[in-house]
Structure 1
Amino acid sequence: MRVFLTGATGFIGSHIIPELLSRGHRVLGLTRSDAGARQLEAAGVDVHRGDLDAPATLVSGAQASDAVIHCAFDHNFERFFENTKKDERNIAAMGEALAGTQKPILITSGVGIGTPLHGGPATEDVLNPRHANPRIATELAGAALIAQRIDVRTIRLPQVHDTTKAGLITPLIAEARRAGAIAYLGEGQSRWSAAHVSDVAKLYALALEKGEPGARYHASAEEGVTARAIAEAIGTGTGLPVRSVGADEVEHYFGWMAPFAGLDMTASNAWTCARLGWEPSGPDLLTDLAGMDHAAITAG
């Protein structure tokens, strides 16, 4: 297949490219810059110039391809709500351009959207349309397309990592440096699911080749790693002291990430593994945190 890939020059997208090429697919990668075009050409993929702020440029990429993998997202958290609405618009535009075809579009969400109302690990069968996370807009956009009989498949991401980045943990390291210590709330028993970026790339490819219309897949190789274990790994890597803090200290140590301090974001992958034959094999989160050059880590 010829696959239109948004986010092609990003952390996850740049790993999806070789996974798709190794399976015999062709890739049309989205970029808005000359530097991005050079990166994509060097990776052996075709270049499509476009921008997340111009949905028509995404539509033309989708129309020129046999399938779409949409993993681009504007991660400016100061405009998080606005950026989720932008994602909603882009998904709607690309999806509607595929109406009347059998072309699949894979969209990207977060595992937290699958958290049951009664608590416990997120599961693929759960979709709460009134979820408090603004990223629900992504999945509601997908649901609207599914209602139009468009082939939408959703990949829900945990903390995706290697030794250069680790999801929300990367900006957490920056906040810890600012505060002078890495903290965890209370006993640090809240947990975050995680997966190595190579395993995540494999899941996108499997969902493209073997996925089902309307299905949601969890890219969670580890169901949950405790906040205390994460903090201690960062402390070891950075040399920062590690502290248990109370609710009144969370804002000082976590900054803009304070709402995440006590959030439990566990996620099951049992259904995904059974349906797609996904077998994660990459390093676990704590191994990658131990192998990081923490001095080189930035929040960007």
Structure 2
Amino acid sequence: MRIFVAGATGAVGRLLVPRLLADGHHVTGTTRSAAGVQALTAQGATGIQVDVYDPAALTAAVRQASPDTVIHQLTALGDYNLADNSRIRREGTRHLVDAARSAGVRRVIAQSIAWAYEPGDAPAVEKTSLDLEATGPRGETVSGVQALETQVAELPDHVILRYGLLYGPGTWYRRGDRIDELFRTGGFTATDAVTSFLHVTDAARAAVAALEWPVGVYNIVDDEPAAGRSWAPVFARAVGAPAPPRGAGRAPWERGADNTLARNELNWKPEHPSWRTGFGTLAG
């Protein structure tokens, strides 16, 4: 199969591309840098340096690749700027979907998130509505997610992967990155807020598996939604940081997500079914 990976050198993309190549697919991947092109070429893929905010250039790249499937792994989190990430969900997705349509591509697989659901007390399922009443920074995030998912669904054969909070190589949740730094500087408090995690390798595995999945939206999260008071001390030990102070309470939307649909309907099972053991991979 010919596959076009947008965001091929990001946290998920850099693990996804080798898996696709190992399965015998022909992969074209986008990147924002010449170094990224070199890295993709070294892996055996075709690397293209392209600006997703340049619709003409992106359309030309997709047409040249002539893919059977487009995999959308675009993010803009390197500078911890959530507004930039919302923009890429809105504008980058718009340009990518238009480019795919122009090239005659029918199937698209897209990265979304599993913490944009409306408030509730139990982990959210896929039928739960997005938190469209949210305001402020969360409202910006949710509106970006809504735009991404609505645009992707314009293509007839679409799969939307609502990933849990990613940890592992290339993510914020690893030794020496953003969350580790917050733990070390006292900027994190462990509360009752519930999170659903996902090891980044399981995110890549799900994107490969989704090549064969039916149209739909799926929560791709581990098996154990957990309050910060439970997971934060385990994360701290894994990265060698001090345990954070403890607090109480949670925002109503901090509820986690349920992966029953993917497990039962798709037979998808994470290699790291719980952060309890998955965080152990962060020790190195």
Q: Which moved more, 1:222-231 or 1:131-140?
A: 131-140
Scaled by the length of structure 1, the TM-score of the pair is 0.79
Residue of structure 2 in register with 1:298 after alignment:
none
Secondary structure at the counterpart of residue 27 of structure 1: strand
Separation (CA, whole Å) in 2 of partners of 1:262 and 1:290:
30
Structure 1 pair 31–82 and aligned structure 2 pair: CA distance change class (3 A): closer
Describe how 1:283-298 pairs up with structure 2 within 5 A: 284-293=274-283
Residue of structure 2 in register with 1:171 after alignment:
178
Instruction: State the one-letter code of the partner of 2:21.
Output: L
Separation (CA, whole Å) in 1 of partners of 2:283 and 2:224:
25
**Residue 80 (structure 1) aligned to one of 70, 79, 82:** 82
Deviations along 1:160-200, one digit per CA (max 9) or x if unpaired, are: 223x4555575222112223x75313xxx322111222222
By how many angstroms is 1:110 displaced? 0.8
By how many angstroms is 1:50 displaced? 0.6
Residue of structure 1 in register with 2:203 after alignment:
200
Residue of structure 2 in register with 1:138 after alignment:
145
Note if 1:160 corresponds to 2:166: yes
Residue of structure 2 in register with 1:12 after alignment:
12
Separation (CA, whole Å) in 2 of partners of 1:144 and 1:81:
19
Describe how 1:48-67 pairs up with structure 2 within 5 A: 48-63=48-63, 64=65, 65-67=67-69
Scaled by the length of structure 2, the TM-score of the pair is 0.83
Instruction: State the one-letter code of the partner of 1:276.
Output: L
**Residue 93 (structure 2) aligned to one of 86, 91, 94:** 91
Given that residues 182 and 234 in structure 1 are in contact (C-alpha distance below 8 angstroms), is that contact kept between their aligned partners in structure 2?
Answer: no
Residue of structure 1 in register with 2:222 after alignment:
221
Separation (CA, whole Å) in 1 of partners of 2:7 and 2:183:
28
**Residue 274 (structure 1) aligned to one of 259, 264, 269:** 264
By how many angstroms is 1:82 displaced? 4.2
Residue of structure 2 in register with 1:31 after alignment:
31
Deviations along 1:223-255, one digit per CA (max 9) or x if unpaired, are: 4122122221243342524322468xxxxxxxx
Instruction: State the one-letter code of the partner of 2:228.
Output: A
Separation (CA, whole Å) in 1 of partners of 2:146 and 2:58:
18
RMSD: 2.9
Given that residues 183 and 244 in structure 1 are in contact (C-alpha distance below 8 angstroms), is that contact kept between their aligned partners in structure 2?
Answer: yes
Instruction: State the one-letter code of the partner of 2:28.
Output: L
By how many angstroms is 1:29 displaced? 0.9
Instruction: State the one-letter code of the partner of 1:224.
Output: P
Given that residues 184 and 261 in structure 1 are in contact (C-alpha distance below 8 angstroms), is that contact kept between their aligned partners in structure 2?
Answer: no
**Residue 183 (structure 1) aligned to one of 181, 185, 189:** 189
Separation (CA, whole Å) in 2 of partners of 1:246 and 1:10:
34
Secondary structure at the counterpart of residue 5 of structure 2: strand
Given that residues 182 and 240 in structure 1 are in contact (C-alpha distance below 8 angstroms), is that contact kept between their aligned partners in structure 2?
Answer: no
Given that residues 99 and 150 in structure 1 are in contact (C-alpha distance below 8 angstroms), is that contact kept between their aligned partners in structure 2?
Answer: no
Secondary structure at the counterpart of residue 53 of structure 1: coil
Separation (CA, whole Å) in 2 of partners of 1:28 and 1:102:
14
Given that residues 109 and 139 in structure 1 are in contact (C-alpha distance below 8 angstroms), is that contact kept between their aligned partners in structure 2?
Answer: no
Separation (CA, whole Å) in 2 of partners of 1:72 and 1:232:
31
Q: Which moved more, 1:194-203 or 1:99-108?
A: 99-108
Instruction: State the one-letter code of the partner of 2:95.
Output: A
In structure 2, runs of 5+ residues without a counterpart are none
Separation (CA, whole Å) in 1 of partners of 2:198 and 2:227:
14
In structure 1, runs of 5+ residues without a counterpart are 248-259, 295-300
Instruction: State the one-letter code of the partner of 1:217.
Output: Y
Q: How many equivalent residue pairs? A: 273
Deviations along 1:126-172, one digit per CA (max 9) or x if unpaired, are: 343725232332333432453x454332111112223x455557522
**Residue 209 (structure 1) aligned to one of 207, 212, 237:** 212
By how many angstroms is 1:26 displaced? 1.4
Residue of structure 1 in register with 2:41 after alignment:
41
Describe how 1:236-247 pairs up with structure 2 within 5 A: 236=237, 237-245=239-247
